[in-house]
């Protein structure tokens, strides 16, 4: 075990690429967009160390071209939700006990990967699945998400450094710990960066997550899960399930290990939670 006070890398905003004609980023993105547009993927659920496929497959199509199928998603039900909760709780103790700087390093690695080899793929997925143009995708899926990862590490460090004052003869110390159970992340369709951040922010602080992406964001959600895996996030820390809101709600909100909700969406949907 090592001892030290660690200063995290200085967080700076990721520069927005221009995608000018003839630029390398434009060439790379166009090639990736064409590749993804001309192939189909079968997006699984990510539960623990398993990729889960079902017989309930639903087409994924661009909002701007409903007749063009770019993939299918695999829908589950109560069983898959319970499996995801079990996987999260199995991963919880080891993840919660991991030192904060090691957790931070995983998400800093995710930021570097997104700034590099994953940039074109996540931008292209956002353009296809959510009908964003190149600049909208670049600002959202790439730059804002990179900033979320890097600045959240900075904020986590600041949070842990905040300590109470002590009177003479005393030393008051505050230790932050994760929640006792799992966090349910329910994310919107319109911002890829928000979708990833609603999972990553609680995970960075040592929590485990069950994530349900919006139906129209499943395509780019797979790329987010691939990014987390490439960065070294342990299996079970973030579990992605594709189920109906009704199916997941009646399991999650009744589970004894439900510890928190991370949600961005409409007021009507939020009010519905209280009825579950």
Indicate which CATH number applies to the domain containing 248: 3.40.605.10
Q: Is 15 domain-assigned?
A: no
Please, how many CA atoms are within 13 Å of residue 220, restricted to the half-sphere of its CB?
34
Rg from Cα positions in the chain? 20
DSSP, collapsed to helix, strand or coil, labels residue 188 as coil
Q: How many domains does the chain have?
A: 1
Q: What percent of the chain has pLDDT over 90?
A: 88
d(Cα 242, Cα 240) in Å, to the nearest integer?
7
Q: What is the reported pLDDT for 266?
A: 72
Tens-digit pLDDT profile for residues 263-272: 887 777 777 7
d(Cα 193, Cα 137) in Å, to the nearest integer?
10
| pLDDT at 276 exceeding the cut of 60 | no
Residue 56 CA from chain centroid, whole number: 24
- Under 8 Å between Cβ of 242 and 131: no
d(Cα 31, Cα 11) in Å, to the nearest integer?
31
Q: What is the reported pLDDT for 189?
A: 80
Tens-digit pLDDT profile for residues 64-112: 999 999 999 999 999 999 999 999 999 999 999 999 999 999 999 999 9
Q: Is 267 domain-assigned?
A: yes
What are the Cα distances from residue 109, in Å, to 136, 151, 152, 197, 263? 24, 13, 13, 15, 25
Q: Is 3 domain-assigned?
A: no
Q: Is 252 domain-assigned?
A: yes
Q: Is 10 domain-assigned?
A: no
- Under 8 Å between Cβ of 189 and 63: no
Q: What is the reported pLDDT for 75?
A: 96
Q: Is 181 domain-assigned?
A: yes
Q: What is the reported pLDDT for 268?
A: 76
Q: 247 falls in which pLDDT band (50, 70, 90)?
A: confident
Which residue range is the domain that position 121 belongs to? Answer: 24-163+175-273
Count of residues for the chain?
276
Tens-digit pLDDT profile for residues 159-210: 999 999 999 999 999 999 999 999 999 998 889 999 999 999 999 999 999 9
Longest dimension (CA), the chain: 73
| pTM, rounded to two decimals | 0.94
């Amino acid at each position: 075990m090592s001892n030290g006070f660690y200063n995290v890398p200085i967080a700076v905003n990721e520069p927005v690429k221009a995608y000018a004609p003839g630029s390398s980023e434009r060439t790379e993105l166009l090639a990736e967009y064409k590749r993804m547009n001309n192939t189909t993927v079968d997006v699984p659920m990510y539960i623990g160390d398993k990729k889960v496929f079902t017989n309930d497959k639903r087409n994924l199509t661009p909002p701007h071209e409903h007749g063009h199928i770019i993939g299918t998603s695999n829908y589950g039900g109560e069983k898959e939700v319970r499996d995801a909760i079990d996987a999260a709780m199995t991963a919880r103790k080891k993840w919660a006990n991991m030192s904060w700087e090691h957790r931070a390093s995983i998400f800093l690695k995710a930021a570097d990967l997104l700034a590099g080899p994953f940039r074109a793929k996540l931008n292209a997925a956002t353009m296809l699945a959510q009908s964003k143009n190149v600049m909208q995708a670049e600002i959202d899926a790439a730059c804002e998400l990179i900033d979320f990862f890097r600045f959240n590490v900075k904020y986590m460090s600041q949070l842990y450094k905040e300590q109470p004052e002590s009177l003479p003869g005393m030393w008051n110390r505050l230790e932050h710990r994760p929640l006792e159970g799992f966090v349910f992340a329910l994310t919107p369709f319109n911002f890829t960066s928000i979708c990833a951040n609603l999972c990553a922010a609680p995970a960075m602080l040592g929590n485990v997550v069950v994530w349900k992406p919006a139906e129209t964001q499943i395509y780019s959600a797979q790329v987010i899960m691939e990014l987390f895996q490439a960065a070294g996030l342990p299996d079970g820390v973030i579990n992605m399930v594709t189920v109906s809101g009704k199916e997941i709600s009646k399991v999650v909100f009744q589970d004894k290990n439900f510890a928190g909700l991370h949600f961005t969406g409409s007021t009507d949907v939020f009010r519905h939670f209280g009825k579950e």
